């Protein structure tokens, strides 16, 4: 799998036309873009904390895209006035499951695909090798 750039269009696909018209009248896509940026940062932070090399800036693992969409959709919906027609239990449960999955990624319990970044770009340390020195001579040895 690869790393992708998630867009507001992919989040908007989760709404039907009637819902989208209502949401555009209330908040607009500008607010959705800001929420999406914060969710992408949250996903990248969880991946980094879990020890996985990050991909290019602004990208997330494809395997976490649905989780990011669920979180973005829910955070967008709760940012407007209470609306039980939009703020359904199913959408809330999907966001909660996505957050739980990110916590597992963060703890390193759930592995995701590595990005294309190098250790210098991601801040992760690479391997380190050193030669062991012998600090004794024949007189220090016991035995035969």
| Lowest mean pLDDT segment, chosen from 11-15, 115-119, 139-143 | 115-119
Q: Is residue 123 within 8 Å of 57, Cβ to Cβ?
A: no
Q: How many residues in total does the chain contain?
A: 144
Ranges of H-type helices in 7-140 = 8-12, 17-26, 29-49, 65-78, 89-106, 119-122
* CA–CA separation, 66 and 37 (whole Å): 15
**Structure-block tokens of residue 18:** 């009637």
pTM, entire model: 0.76
End-to-end CA distance of the chain: 59
pLDDT reading at 66 higher than 70: yes
Q: Write the pLDDT tens digit of every residue in 16-45.
A: 888 788 777 777 777 888 999 999 999 999
């Amino acid at each position: 799998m690869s790393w992708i750039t998630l867009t507001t269009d992919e989040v908007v696909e989760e709404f039907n036309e009637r819902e989208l018209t209502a949401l555009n009248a209330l908040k607009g896509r500008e607010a959705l873009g800001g929420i999406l940026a914060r969710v992408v940062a949250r996903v990248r932070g969880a991946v980094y904390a879990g020890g996985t090399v990050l991909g290019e800036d602004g990208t997330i693992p494809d395997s976490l895209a649905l989780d990011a969409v669920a979180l973005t959709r829910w955070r967008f919906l709760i940012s407007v006035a209470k609306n039980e027609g939009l703020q359904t239990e199913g959408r809330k449960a999907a966001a909660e499951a996505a957050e739980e999955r990110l916590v597992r990624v963060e703890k390193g319990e759930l592995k995701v695909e590595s990005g294309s970044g190098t250790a210098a770009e991601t801040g992760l340390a690479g391997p380190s090798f050193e030669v062991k020195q012998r600090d004794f001579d024949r007189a220090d040895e016991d035995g035969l």
